[in-house]
Structure formats: structure tokens, C-alpha cells
Amino acid sequence: MGTTDLKKFAYLKKPFLFTAAAAMAATAAAQSAPLLGPQKKVPWGAMVTETEGGHLIGNPDAKGKLVEYMSYTCSHCAEFARTGEGAIKLLYVPTGKVSYEIRHLIRDPVDLTAALAAQCGDPIKFPGNHEALILKHDEWMAKARTVTQAQKARWSFGSFGSRAQAIASDLDFYQIMERRGYSRTSLNQCLTDEAKAKSIADQSQADIDAHSLSGTPTFIMDGKKIDAHDWTGVQPHLDKFFR
């Protein structure tokens, strides 16, 4: 199926602007798209709404609502980000006919740490944070696969905050987020927020239970799970809104 199985993992037992460059590109795409009539002047591609369990890019009232349940430690999710996410944000969302919501599924402590980093600061920053982390997936996951016993101990013992900080340090999250404008101090405030971590993990479990999710990425279109796990499978479900 090309997904990552969630059953073998267990852990804790929740209008803004897109990144500047992407927002400009999305607005340009929206203005030039032949499917967008003169009455559609709202730059949907540059708008993001925080939802109860994720972040929705585009028109909240779009006819087509695509939801992706993703994990930062999932290689298939990283591949989808490289092959499909840009097309969704720059070609489909700006028309106002399709919205795209990103929601987290938490598989392990590394995944939770990445989710905390992605949600650090105002919700306006989420899309850029998400993009920075997921597009560096291969690099930091390579480090995760070769951690020493000493590093594993730092990830497993001590306070929640110290464990998250150890993971972020060993996997270069501080460097990634520094390029997003975060100081080590500001990122640490997010990584040590145990209440926020519990909220993210609880929402993840609620989504798993509600939709019988067993792998990532999983896509739901208009409230129904679709049999698609990569861009090739997802694209036809979006194209139908332009026929």
C-alpha cells in the first residue's frame, strides 16, 4: 500500500498567511488560472486557518476538502511533500474550489518533537515550519537511524522537556528552525510545553480512533477515506472539481 504502519508505534497514552515566497507564487497562480473567474479575487492560496486538529490551507468553504494525516518520521509523507504538496498549494487551492488540511499522527517521540517544532509560535508560522521540517526529513532521519546508546538514553530519561530538547539537538531541529527565525530559547519554550505535547498526542489518537487510521499518509476527501497514498493516487480526486 506504500504507507507506514502505525500499530507498532506507541507514545503519549491538538486566516493566516503562508510563507512569503509561496504566498506570492500562489497568488500569481490564482490570478492567472483560467478556471478562476473574475469574481474569484480572494487569494485562497495564501490563506491558512487553524482548525481543532490541524491547519487548513485555502477556502474553508471549498467544495473539495482534502485532509492529509501525516507523520514527520514517515518517509512516504516526505515523498508526498516533495511530489504533491506544492502542486496542491499552488495550483488547486488558489482556485477556491479545493482546501488542504494537514493533521499530525504521532508515531514516536521524534515525531512528537517535530510536531511541537512545527506548531511553535503563532499559527501564521505553521506552513513554513512544516515545510522546513518535512523537506529535511531524509537528513535528520538518517541521523535518527544511527543514534548511539548514549543518545537513546537522553531521549528516554529525564523530564519531558529535556528529552525533547535532546532529540531536537541530535537531529538538527535547532538549525532548521533557526533558518525560520527561531532562537534556541524560543524553540525551547515550545519543546518543553508538555501540555501542548499531550494535546497534540491526544488529538492524534482521537483521529486514529475516529477514522480507523492504520498508516501514513492517509487522505480523506470530503469526509471519506480514499484509496490513495501518493500524489498519483490523490490527483484524480482533486481534478474532478474542475470537470
- Provide CB contacts within 8 A for 230, sequence distance 6+: 2, 76, 79, 80, 83, 84
The structural domains of the chain, with segments of one domain joined by +, span 4-242
DSSP character at residue 36: S
Cell readout for 69 is 494525516
As a whole number of angstroms, the distance between CA 230 and CA 243 comes to 22
CATH 1.10.40.110 fits 4-242, yes or no: yes
- pLDDT for residue 124: 81
As a whole number of angstroms, the distance between CA 179 and CA 156 comes to 28
Tens digit of pLDDT at every position of the chain (243 positions): 455 555 444 443 333 333 444 444 444 444 444 454 445 478 998 898 999 889 999 999 999 999 999 999 999 999 999 999 999 999 999 999 999 999 999 999 999 999 999 999 988 899 899 999 999 999 999 999 999 999 999 999 999 999 999 999 999 999 999 999 999 999 999 999 999 999 999 999 999 999 999 999 999 999 999 999 999 999 999 999 987
As a whole number of angstroms, the distance between CA 51 and CA 238 comes to 21
What is the model's pTM? Answer: 0.82
- pLDDT for residue 53: 86
CA atoms within 13 A on the CB side of 53: 17
